[in-house]
Amino acid sequence: MRNREVAELLYETADIMEFQQIEWKPRAYRRAAQNIENFGEDIEKVYEKKGKKGLTEIPGVGESIADHIAEYLKTGKVEKFEGLKGKAPSGTAELMEIRGLGAKKMKKLADKLEIKTMLDLKNAVKSHRIRRLSGFGVKSEENIARAIENYEKSHSRIPLGKALPLAEEIISGLKEELKNGTPGLDLSRIIYTGSLRRLKETIGDIDILAEAEEADAGKIMDAFVSLPEAGQVVSKGRTRSSVILKEGFAIDLRVVPPESYGAALQYFTGSKEHNIGLRNIALREGYKLSEYGLYSKNSGERIAGKSEEEIYRKLGLEYIAPELRENRGELKAAAKNELPELVDAGDIRGDLHMHTDYSEGTESLETMIENAEAMGYEYIAVTDHSRSQRIANGMDIETLKEQWKEIKSLSKRFRIKVLRGSEVEILKDGSLDYPDEILKELDIVVGAVHSGFASSEREMTGRIITALENSHLDILAHPSGRLLGKREAYAVNFGKVFEAAAANKKIMEINCQPSRLDLNDELIFRAKNYGLKFCISTDSHSVSDLASMRYGLGQARRSWLEKEDIVNTYPYSRLKEVFKKLRD
DNA sequence: GCCGTTTTCGGCCCGACTGTTTTCAGTCG
């Protein structure tokens, strides 16, 4: 999949064009890049199959950009871009990442101080050459110095599993602070927005929105900048403040009056592309939409703004859940009342992948069962590692049989159904890590790859397909093997894997571990097109992990999945039909 | 450079914050 690579090239080209003060083109290039990044199919395959015409079917890609992409896919470079590169400093793309530096300032720094790279910029700061430049001052120079520091500390994104608890902590701290001293403030209307509310797998920075009358806004801002977690205060105003947390993450807080709360929530939740689409619809309908409300274009009269629901309704659209707001067709679907009925936390009836201290989990079988039952689940599958996973204390056949005995005896004391499962290693040749007579005794076999990540695409694809053709395997666990920010997905042909899975009626796992989220939203979307069903599983190694169901659920919702697509929303009686070997 | 039940040409989201150029440009989201 080279979408990310092609998008990166277009982003970089946009930066260079912007540096040259070229108008509009950078916007067009960025839009194309964004859409390619979010495009479900492999752009290289699209080009192979349908040629240039296939490329121009991607929104934002026209004749000219399609030609450039084709040239890039064929030759590895674009002649025109090579020429452009010479017209901007070599470090332009990286330097534009520095907060507060845009094209205009960059140009001045390059022209007057010959700053071409991050190192040049650092040196210029150190020798105080920037403060002497017209248009800059001591403060600008200091801000650039800090921005460089922040860039180097945390330009990588925050995983959802870290950002979400962090935002919840900040918000509850804020509420605690405000509870005393500001009566009349509606504390339920402090909420995280942005990519976090859309539950993207990683978050750039955390955005928080609060509702307050003007008189109370100052108090919220004061409470915010004095939170114990806050490190450096980047800016503080009446409606917006920005701090950098001690651990390096940026958090923005905005305060809006009640009549604008819905409009602001909509606006700051984004995505940017969704909002642009929505604003265009508003314009077409004779309205003007901003973060303050929906207004009539002619009279300027306010039409809506208190709630998001109201805004979407007035624009003739169904309410669009935050996870869908990526401009991937949700606006058109909403106009036709064809949005999916997204799977919801309340639909989940069980968890089909977890570990105990029989292998690498930290809790006993009994504790896991107890806690799963307390969560209201109808069933769980206990899936400790198979024997070849020595590093994870994989179980030999005897230990596995002991576990079955314990499950049987514990089952008498609990209401919840406990299924005998195993996370079985898919070996190098595609065979499974227990003999057939053991596999057929298991209620659920979760197959997984934990070795040989460097295999060729052909080898890995063959290995996984062989496993999918094995009648004993039920679920393919973390199908891509990626670890967020650490390890790329292994080389595998997902088209072929999904095809084989569909032919053999296998279930694709959506693994909830924050470092995995695997399948990711794009692959889920693709897999669904093959008619596949999914399970959302926590792969818990401890009791607290059981709560990470929400991260996988978020990815499922981002991929438009409905209850019906996900087998662990089925009642036990129906689950039995899916996993035929299940007995009572 | 892209796009079109307003348009094949003429638009392209728009308002807050910061710092500096003492009235506004640049940047961000």
Q: What's the CATH number where A17 sits?
A: 1.10.150.110
Closest among A222, A223, A224, A244 to A233, alpha carbons compared: A244
With beta carbons less than 8 A apart as the criterion, state whether A322 and A199 touch: yes
Same domain flag for A425 and A520:
yes
Same domain flag for A128 and A165:
no
CB proximity A207–strand B (7 Å threshold): yes
Amino acid letter at A553?
A: L
Distance A248 CA to B2 C1' (A): 38
Tokens linked to A434: 């227990």
Those nucleotides of strand B lying less than 7 Å from any protein Cβ are: 1-3, 6, 11-21, 25-29
CB proximity A240–strand B (7 Å threshold): yes
Mind spelling out the 3-state secondary structure of A161-179?
HHHHHHHHHHHHHHHHHHH
Closest among A498, A359, A351, A518 to A423, alpha carbons compared: A359
User: What are residue A276's phi and psi, to 5 degrees?
Assistant: -60, -45
What contacts A497, CB < 8 A, 6 or more positions away?
A: A461, A464, A465, A468, A476, A479
Same domain flag for A398 and A470:
yes
Question: How many Å apart are CA A280 and CA A289, to the nearest integer?
Answer: 9
In total, chain A counts a number of residues equal to 584
Distance A415 CA to B16 C1' (A): 56
Closest nucleotide (C1' vs CA) to A35 is B2
Q: What's the CATH number where A366 sits?
A: 3.20.20.140
Local structure of residue A59 (DSSP, 8 states) = T
Closest nucleotide (C1' vs CA) to A241 is B17
Question: How many Å apart are CA A425 and CA A541, to the nearest integer?
Answer: 17
Residues of chain A above pLDDT 90, percent? 64
Dump pLDDT digits (tens) for A138-163. Answer: 999 999 998 888 788 766 678 899 89
Q: List the single range of A41-55, A340-354, A398-412, A430-444 with lowest mean pLDDT.
A: A41-55
- The mean pLDDT value of chain A amounts to 91
Residue A38, pLDDT > 80, answer no
Dump pLDDT digits (tens) for A205-263. Answer: 899 999 998 888 888 999 999 888 888 888 898 889 999 887 778 899 999 999 999 99
Tokens linked to A223: 């409470």
Same domain flag for A522 and A411:
yes
Task: Please tell me the total count of domains within chain A.
Answer: 4
- The number of CA neighbours under 13 Å toward the Cβ of A110 is 21
With beta carbons less than 8 A apart as the criterion, state whether A361 and A542 touch: yes
Most confident of A125-134, A179-188, A466-475: A466-475
Tokens linked to A193: 């927005």
Q: Containing domain of residue A448, as a range?
A: 345-578
Residue in the structure block whose two tokens are 């695997």: A518
Cα dihedral angle (A369, A375, A379, A384), rounded to 10 degrees? Answer: -40
The per-residue b/e assignment along A413-452, b for 16 or more CB within 10 angstroms, e otherwise, is eeebbbbbbbbbbbbeebebbbeeebbeebbbbbbbbbee
Residues 118-147 of A with CB under 7 A from strand B: 131, 134-140, 143
Q: What's the CATH number where A301 sits?
A: 3.30.210.10
pLDDT recorded at residue A278: 92
CB proximity A106–strand B (7 Å threshold): yes
CB proximity A13–strand B (7 Å threshold): no
Closest among A294, A340, A301, A288 to A319, alpha carbons compared: A340
Write the Ramachandran bin of A48: left for phi over 0, alpha for psi from -120 to 50, otherwise beta: alpha
Listed in order, strand segments (DSSP E) in A392-541 are: 417-425, 444-448, 475-476, 507-511, 533-537
Distance A39 CA to B17 C1' (A): 35
Same domain flag for A463 and A531:
yes
Same domain flag for A402 and A270:
no
CB proximity A28–strand B (7 Å threshold): yes
Whether residue A340 is contained in a domain is answered as no
Dump pLDDT digits (tens) for A66-106. Answer: 999 999 999 989 999 999 888 888 888 889 888 889 999 99
Whether residue A472 is contained in a domain is answered as yes
